[in-house]
Amino acid sequence: MNKRAEQVKKINKELNLFNEIDDAPTSGSGKLKDIAVSVKDCICVKDMESRAGSAILEGYKPVFDATVIEKIRKEGAAIIGKTAQDAFGFGSFSVNVGKGMHIPKNPVDKTRSCGGSSGGAAGITKAADFPHIALAESTGGSIVGPASFCGVIGFCPTYGRVSRYGLMDYANSLDKIGPMAKTMEEIALMMEIIAGYDDKDSTSLDEPVPDYTKALNKSIKGLRVGILKNSFGQGVDIQVAEKVADGIQKLEDQGALLQDIKLPITEKYGVACYYLIAMAEASTNLAKYSGLRYGKQEKIDGTFNEYFKNTRAIFNDESKRRIIIGTFVRMAGFRDAYYIKATKVRTKIIDEYKKAFKKVDVLVSPTMPFVAPKFSEIKKLTPMQHYMADIMTVGPNLAGLPHISIPVGNNKENLPVGMLLIADHLKEETLMQVGNKL
Ligand code: GLN
């Protein structure tokens, strides 16, 4: 075992941030030389067990690298392991892990969640005492949410900006890969490496990749900032609202022009719309894990139905809940009332953002309505309360907009608070520019 692997194992023993650790990660030459990269479990890494946090994929070692992995290897990255997550990305606190897997703990306070679903990624980004960047994934907020709970930066690009080839699908129309890091320089560097067209992903955008590092130093004088006023009100922890207000003040001090913006449709229907679409897509994606071509193969005895039932029983409760709801909302007879309607609301949400971006360059709100919750508090949440935690993050994800969570200080208990910044499609540079001023 090499020294880096020993360090990672030591951290992991205390915090359960990894599902798989490479015993001898080595780095090559290139822009990521000497930088350790952790990879969320749902991103395929050749010959490394890749389970998307689910027991149903036990023993699955991909025979290929995801496009993002190919790209970081070319730049000399040392891949240290696969980070813990809610199974298939289903959750906001990384407590919905696969059967037999461990729940990651927040390095800031071990009695609290790292957030989810990219909990392990955010945890190791905070805990690593060596140069490190995480590759994470977001469907509805899984990069920025955990980043905010752990006090690191989380960056989610425009949908299609980074190839999804080799990412295990949660919801194909929503999934994005993006980095987490301690500094904006590392975020910009990683985005320069992983962004760009890939003919292996039919939703990949054929657009040039800008020099994100250069954007870091651009002034924000005259930049128009829209404050999502309603996201500071009811249901939002007062200390979180105060810290984010301090962050906004910093932007104003540097010449940004503030105005209030309201997104009534997104605020009212975003969570419902997101969960209908995400679950509908997830339920079709999970159909393939039947133990025939994909998924763990149980001993074959009894009838086909018994075999199928035993295999599908490996899914955890949250995965089963989503298969049932997702199948229901797209069933003949219900499809028009739920799934089709949700897709129409999604278009209205996109229009609402597009209108807002005629008036402002970025939108600002808290990332999560509260700081990292204790595991004992999460146990008391109903599934509905669990889903409501994503109220600020589902909007930009439904609209495919780039967004970032930046730490803006700690509350009185020393727990980190994150501020969410959203920009228009392909305006990642604006987020680099603003992020670096915080
Ligand atoms: N919390 C959201 C969900 O459970 C988002 C997860 C994600 O972005 N992967 O669907």
**Domain annotation covers residue 279:** no
The CA distance from 104 to 116, in Å, is 10
Grouping H, G, I as helix, E, B as strand and the rest as coil, residue 187 is helix
Strands 78-83 and 153-156: unpaired
40 among known catalytic residues? yes
Residue 324, domain member (yes or no)? no
Q: Would 319 be classed as within a structural domain?
A: no
User: Which amino acid does the sequence have at 207?
Assistant: E
pTM of the model: 0.97
Environment class of 372 (CB within 10 Å of its CB; exposed 0-12, middle 13-18, buried 19+) = buried
Separation CA 134–CA 187 (nearest Å): 9
Is 433 inside any structural domain? yes
Specify if 372 maps to a domain: yes
288: left (phi over 0), alpha (psi -120 to 50) or beta: alpha
Ligand 1 within 6 A of CB of 55 = no
Q: Which of 50, 94, 113, 142 is catalytic?
A: 142
In a domain, residue 145? The reply is yes
Please write down the HEC assignment for all residues of 123-153.
HHHHHCCCCEEEEEEECCCCCHHHHHHHCCE
User: Does residue 117 carry a catalytic annotation?
Assistant: yes
Ligand 1 close to Cβ of residue 142 (< 6 A): yes
**CA–CA distances in Å: residue 154 to residues 279, 334, 420:** 24, 37, 10
Residue 54 counted as domain residue: yes
Of residues 117, 118, 138, 405, which has the active-site annotation? 117
Residue type, 108: V
Residue positions counted in the chain:
438
- Indicate the Cα dihedral angle 204, 208, 209, 214, nearest 10°: -160
Instruction: Confirm whether 312 is domain-assigned.
Output: no
Rounded Cα gap, residues 360 and 417, in angstroms: 24
88, 90, 143: residue to mutate for ligand 1 pocket, most atoms within 8 A of CB = 90
Residue 109's domain comprises 3-215+365-437
* Distance between Cα 59 and ligand 1 center (Å): 24
Atom of ligand 1 nearest to the CA of 390: 1
Per-residue pLDDT of the chain (438 residues; tens, 9 = 90+): 799 999 999 999 999 999 999 999 988 999 999 999 999 999 999 999 999 999 999 999 999 999 999 999 999 999 999 999 999 999 999 999 999 999 999 999 999 999 999 999 999 999 999 999 999 999 999 999 999 999 999 999 999 999 999 999 999 999 999 999 999 999 999 999 999 999 999 999 999 999 999 999 999 999 999 999 988 888 899 999 999 999 999 999 999 999 999 999 999 999 999 999 999 999 999 999 988 888 887 777 788 888 888 899 999 999 999 999 999 999 999 999 999 999 999 999 999 999 999 999 999 999 999 999 999 999 999 999 999 999 999 999 999 999 999 999 999 999 999 999 999 999 999 999 999 999
Per the DSSP assignment, residues forming a β-bridge with 102 are none
Cα–Cα nearest to 296, from 97, 61, 63, 58? 58
433 Cβ inside 6 Å of ligand 1: no
CB 400 within 8 A of CB 357: no
Residue closest via CA to ligand 1's atom 10 equals 90
Which of 337-361 are b and which e, b meaning 16 or more Cβ less than 10 Å from the residue's Cβ?
A: ebbebbeebbeebbebbeebbeebb
Structural domains counted in the chain:
1
Task: Output the CA 239–ligand 1 centroid distance in Å.
Answer: 25
Q: Is 427 tagged catalytic? A: no
pLDDT recorded at residue 290:
87
Cα 288 to Cα 118, 168, 328, 339, 430: the distances in Å are: 23, 12, 18, 21, 40
Q: Which amino acid is at 142?
A: S
DSSP secondary structure code for residue 66 in this structure = -
Q: What is the CATH number of the domain that holds 140?
A: 3.90.1300.10
